[in-house]
Structure 1
Amino acid sequence: MHAFAALLDSLIYTRSRNAKLKLVEDYLKATPDPDRGWAMAALTEDLDLPAVKPALIRALVETRVDPVLFRMSRDFVGDTAETVSLLWPAPIVPADPAPISVTEAVERLRHLSRSDAPAELGRMLDRLDAEERFALLKMATGETRIGLSARLAKTALAQAYGQDVDLIEELWHGLEPPYTALFEWLEGRAPQPTPADVPTFRPFMLAHGLEDARVSLDVYAAEWKWDGIRVQIVRVGDQTRLYSRTGDDVTGSFPDVAGAFSEPGVVDGELMVKGEHQGAGIEVEGAASFNALQQRLGRKVVSQKMLSDYPAFVRLYDMLVDGTEDIRHLPWTERRERLEAFVPRLDPDRFDLSGVIEAEDFTELEAIRAGARDAAIEGVMLKRRDSPYVGGRRAGLWYKWKRDPLTADCVMMYAQRGSGRRSSYYSDYTFGCWNEEGELQPVGKAYSGITDEELRFLDKFVRTHTLNRFGPVREVEKTMVLEIAFDSIHASTRHKSGVAMRFPRIARIRTDKPAAEADRIETLRRLVT
């Protein structure tokens, strides 16, 4: 555990991407199996220890430390694992001095019931130093948050052994931790693992932002960028799997889609929910807003009522494997022809084809995009017609041209300290608009979009203009106006204001505007799509 703890500690304080890669590479080469496999599972958040939850950790530490002291410390530090690792007291009876390996910790915790987990976790924490306790708790909860993405961890693994990261990614989802067969192949001790008859994930092709550039529609095809979640559907043998963009298996959340896909192959598309609403500028084509899709996301058990009220479907726009033939090397135009021939064989209630936008030139496309303000659309995708399907972002192949955000002037009402490096600042702001009775009513919460200098400015405002405290939340004087940018706004029965913003963020601080001139909720309701 000591080596893994040292790795996490170094990663937290290392900003350079290449330096992070070197740290992980060195750890993997120096660490034996199966410790390094379990470590990789933790770094990629593929380690599942269901008996250990954050609530269990909080309850456990409050049996050893004064609860008020813990909560105040947690509020200040902003991270439960770090707080517990530092506050955990030395045991009254000296603990077993023998070191605990990563494998020992995982094997002990993964087979525990929730009733047995607190005692066993406590015994392990007694045997570890603060750095090791931090590593154990991060590993146990599956939330490392150390500035290392799963993709970057796999890139380090690939570089350590001179392999292609996309190949590692494809193999990854057909294997189980601690990935012994994978390491044996990487070190030349065994053949490449090839999971037979298993629907494995392929890395998604991603797009760069278009920024202010213009492209030729003779070279690029234009499609709508739909506002759902991107999924990859894989059918092999008699199995169908749905994967999210991060490679997570989401089949269980969408059994209606998986059950309807019976043709062998691999396709890429946008998962949405059917619905009727009034769009602006284009034909809506039966897709509801992202707000409807949210009712289905993250559910491990989906009721019949949920399936009926929020029927899911996938709008397909690319094809990776046709039957058993991998066609990712073909240009987009040929893959598109294959997809157009493939879609009619699917259930039309669950799958349709994302159309190509017809425009004479880029100027006409700009006009079409400007007139499309619809809840199911995020913007436009531009795909080079001769581009192969390659994992990751490759310059010049695909561009995303998101629509301009909506904005509203809102008044800050409440503030709360953030997490991580912002845990010492009031960085999470609840804001509101005026209702018909002339009262401020909350309409959203934002914590992004501002610079460090602006963060310090707003933090000082919160501290010097506090009216009331409600636990970690401060109510402030209603004088600070924030211009809030958001992608769309939807009707919501869960919010008292009746509206919910999609991706709200702070566009600018309006010190020039009095709070009385901030927007009214009625103005926001007119923007509902």
Structure 2
Amino acid sequence: MQEPSPVVVSMEFSEICEHFEQLEQTSSRLEKTGIVTSLLTRAHRDEIPIVVQLILGSVFPTWSTEKVGVGEKLLIKVVADVTGLTEGTILGYLKDTGDVGRAVEQAMENKKQVMFLTEDLSLSRVYDDLTKISQYEGKRSQDKKLKILAGLLTNASPLEARYLSRIVVEKMRTGVAEGTVRDGIARAFGMPSDVVEKAFMVSNDMGLVAKKACEGEEALSTLSLMLFRPIKMMAAQKVSTVEEGFEIVGTPCAVEYKYDGFRMQIHKEGSKVRIFTRRLEDVTRQFRDVVGVVRENIGGDCIIEAETIGIAEDGRWLPFQQISRRIKRKYDIDEIIDKIPVMTNVFDVLYLNGESMIDEPFKSRRQKLEKIVTSVPRKLVLSEMVITDDAEEARTFFSESLSLGNEGVMLKNLSSPYTPGLRVGHMLKLKSVLESLDCIVIGAEWGTGRRAHYLGSFHLAVLDENNMPVMIGKVATGITDEMLETLTERLRPLIEYEEGKMAHIKADLVVEVAYEEIQKSPHYESGFALRFPRLIRMREDKGPEDADTIERVYDIYESDML
């Protein structure tokens, strides 16, 4: 007679929240790693992937299209229903604390309604209910979401409510980055950190990595690239001159147009094609024209990377801002496809016919790419590239690229692998002289006079060592009325609360900002300020995690001092 399967006793959600609070109370990365390790060793192996995802502040992996889909306004409505407080009172808590988790915690401490029959929350109950919420769509879906979320909050302690709320809106504020979780997994299961890192690079799923690490190094080594599970894209470092670039990547090297377009990761299996952004968002619907041309003109099952640019009627290459309208477009897609046709410039292959290409040298990957791409003028082409060790030839190619409306050139080491998710030294970008930073908009001020209905004077932030936004300045110049209208429309749903003319905004939108100089400043949390900043454009292809870092700001400041 077969023995019955053992019953898995789920971890108490309160225990996880106690660890979250410990993480929040220390700034030491070493201590944070120890807390993550402790939590992972206490969790049942079936729940380890869930624990890891919640540590990172989300219910689902970044590549997943599933979302809880509950914003702060809906959350506050639920909290008001559960506590008997007014939404205005809870908004007041939010203004005082600047943190939705703390605001909900305070509301639960001051609730007017007392529930006599409550039950302890388990991790499995929280995860299952949040997963159910993500699956509701269509009519009455909001009511169903409210009911489930209310059930969780009714049984939550104030501390549990703090972290439950943050998980729902994906703003954990514990200062735990992926690197800390990686090291925690390595320590918990006795794995080398570089092995864990490699597994995460190819899977883009830290929860899955932890599960495999728990099973052993052999199980961990089975993780590899998978079609339709996008991975983080490799990023380039910046250089100021061709000579500097040559010194870093070595010569001869590949010098390639840096298009002013939209970077895509395209997955193809047979006739099935899906397109992902740098933020791993699925934009297949918005680029149906690209899907068609890829399906017909790229051979084999593959994962390729490309830069797609808009093409004007006269053949001119259009700036990124023109094509960026497609990324968030949900309606009238065919209209904008007809209005702004695109050309996709393919530059790398990461996976081909069942085999990962990322460990192969760039030169080999390029050769394989050339064999599977059939060029279609003004629709699908290989990226323009030369291989050279001649600085003058590279400068001429750079000038040619700029004259076509591109941003500059890329310089690539011919022997280098593809390193997912990292900003590497074997791929560099050389742009025009004007320096810029990719900053996160974390606040804005309502205008006056004829601009009273627009947000302006945007508050900018870069990422600190814990990947938290820290303010580096404000920008109010270089912004047309049309751009103000677009920015206001984009940012209005992200407003968390307002104080007079000041709107505090959820960190989501990245903008490119030019400046004359970086100065030290005691006025901003970053310790630096941008002198004469000017807004260049929105970067809808980038998420807040792609913004520039305080480390880069410091490096630029130091180099300017030399």
Scaled by the length of structure 2, the TM-score of the pair is 0.66
Partner of residue 231, structure 1: 264
Q: Which has the larger helix fraction? A: 2
Q: Cα–Cα, structure 1 residues 189 and 453, in superposed 2: closer, same or farther, change >3 Å?
A: closer
Residue 211 of structure 2 is matched in structure 1 by 183
C-alpha distance in 2 between matches for 1:147 and 1:457 = 16
Structure 1 residues 293 and 28: CA distance shift in structure 2, 3 A: farther
Partners of 1:230 and 1:271 within 8 A in 2: yes
Secondary structure of 1:401's counterpart equals strand
Deviation track 1:101-121 (CA, whole Å, cap 9, x = no partner) reads 222112223324320332442
1:370 touches 1:403 (CA, 8 Å); kept in 2?
no
- AA of the residue aligned to 1:381: M
**Is 2:73 aligned against 1:55?**
yes
Aligned equivalents of 1:65, 1:396: Cα separation in 2: 54
Asked whether 1:142 is paired with 2:142, we answer no
Residue 17 of structure 1 and its aligned partner are, at CA, apart by 4.2
Give the whole-Å Cα distance in 1 for the aligned partners of 2:479 and 2:366. 49
Coordinate RMSD, CA, aligned: 4.8
Contact 2:475 2:534 in 1 (8 A): no
Q: Which residue of 1 aligns with 2:380?
A: 351
User: Which runs of 5 or more residues in structure 1 are unaligned?
Assistant: 279-284, 436-440, 459-480, 491-502, 509-529
Quick one: distance in 2 between partners of 1:258 and 1:94? 54
Q: Distance in 2 between matches of 1:164 and 1:421?
A: 24
> Is 221-230 or 301-310 further displaced after alignment?
301-310
Q: Judge conservation of contact 2:80–2:87 (CA < 8 Å) in 1.
A: yes
Q: Which amino acid aligns with 1:455?
A: Y
> Contact between 1:277 and 1:288, CA under 8 Å: does it hold in 2?
no
Q: Percent identity?
A: 18
Counterpart of 2:255 (choices 212, 222, 238) is: 222
Q: Is the 8 A contact 2:346 2:381 kept in 1?
A: yes
Question: For 1:171, which of 170, 183, 203 is the aligned residue?
Answer: 203
Does the CA contact (< 8 Å) of 1:230 and 1:244 recur in 2?
Answer: yes
- Report Cα offsets for 1:178-233 as digits up to 9, x if no partner: 75x97266324995667998444345333333367352573322112223333222
Match of 2:300 in 1: 264
SS state at 2:49 partner: helix
Q: Which amino acid aligns with 1:326?
A: S
Tell me how far apart the structure 1 counterparts of residues 473 and 182 of structure 2 sit (CA, whole Å): 32
Which consecutive residues of structure 2, in runs of 5 or more, have no partner in the other structure?
Answer: 1-12, 61-65, 134-140, 437-444, 448-455, 489-510, 540-546, 554-562
Q: Is the 8 A contact 2:17 2:160 kept in 1?
A: yes
Counterpart in the other structure of 1:93: 114
**Equivalent AA in structure 1 for residue 476 of structure 2:** F
Shift of the 429–120 alpha-carbon distance from structure 1 to 2, 3 Å rule, reads same
Match of 1:133 among 158, 161, 167: 161
Determine if contact 1:214/1:362 at 8 Å carries over to the other structure.
no
**2:311 is the alignment partner of 1:275:** yes
Give, in angstroms, the shift of residue 153 of structure 1. 3.8
Distance change >3 Å, CA 214–CA 131, structure 1 → 2: same
**1:346-495 to 2 correspondences below 5 Å:** 348=377, 350-357=379-386, 361-363=390-392, 365-366=394-395, 369=398, 373=402, 377-393=406-422, 396-405=425-434, 429=474, 431-432=476-477, 453-455=522-524, 483-487=532-536
Is this contact kept in 1: 2:240–2:433, CA < 8 A? no
Return the alpha-carbon distance in structure 2 between the equivalents of residues 433 and 389 of structure 1: 36
Q: What is the CA-CA distance between 1:295 and the residue it aligns to?
A: 0.9
Match of 2:367 in 1: 337
TM-score (norm. length: structure 1) = 0.69
Is 1:381–1:398's contact at 8 Å kept on the other side of the alignment?
Answer: yes
Q: Equivalents in 2 of 1:305, 1:222: separation in Å?
A: 36
CA displacement 1:303-349 (0-9 Å, x = unmatched): 321332233443111122333343333322222222222222x6555
1:109 matched to 2:145? The reply is: no
Change (3 A) 1:108 1:15: same
Question: Which residue of structure 1 lines up, in the alignment, with residue 560 of structure 2?
Answer: none
What secondary structure sits across from 1:380 in the alignment? strand
Give SS of 1:274's match.
strand
Asked whether the equivalents of residues 254 and 411 of structure 2 are also in contact (C-alpha less than 8 Å), the reply is: yes
SS where residue 164 of structure 1 aligns?
helix
1:126 deviates by 3.4
Letter of the aligned partner of 2:198 in structure 1?
Answer: D
Distance 1:405 1:330, change over 3 A: same
3-state SS, counterpart of residue 315 of structure 1: strand
Which residue of the partner structure matches residue 452 of structure 2?
none
**Do the aligned partners of residues 274 and 168 (structure 1) sit closer, same or farther apart at CA in structure 2, a change above 3 Å counting?**
same
Aligned to 1:241: 274
Q: How do 1:287-326 and structure 2 match up within 5 A?
A: 287-299=317-329, 303-326=333-356
Q: 2:41 is aligned with what amino acid? A: K
Using the alignment, how far apart are the partners of 1:301 and 1:37 within structure 2?
36
> 2: distance between equivalents of 1:434 and 1:378?
20
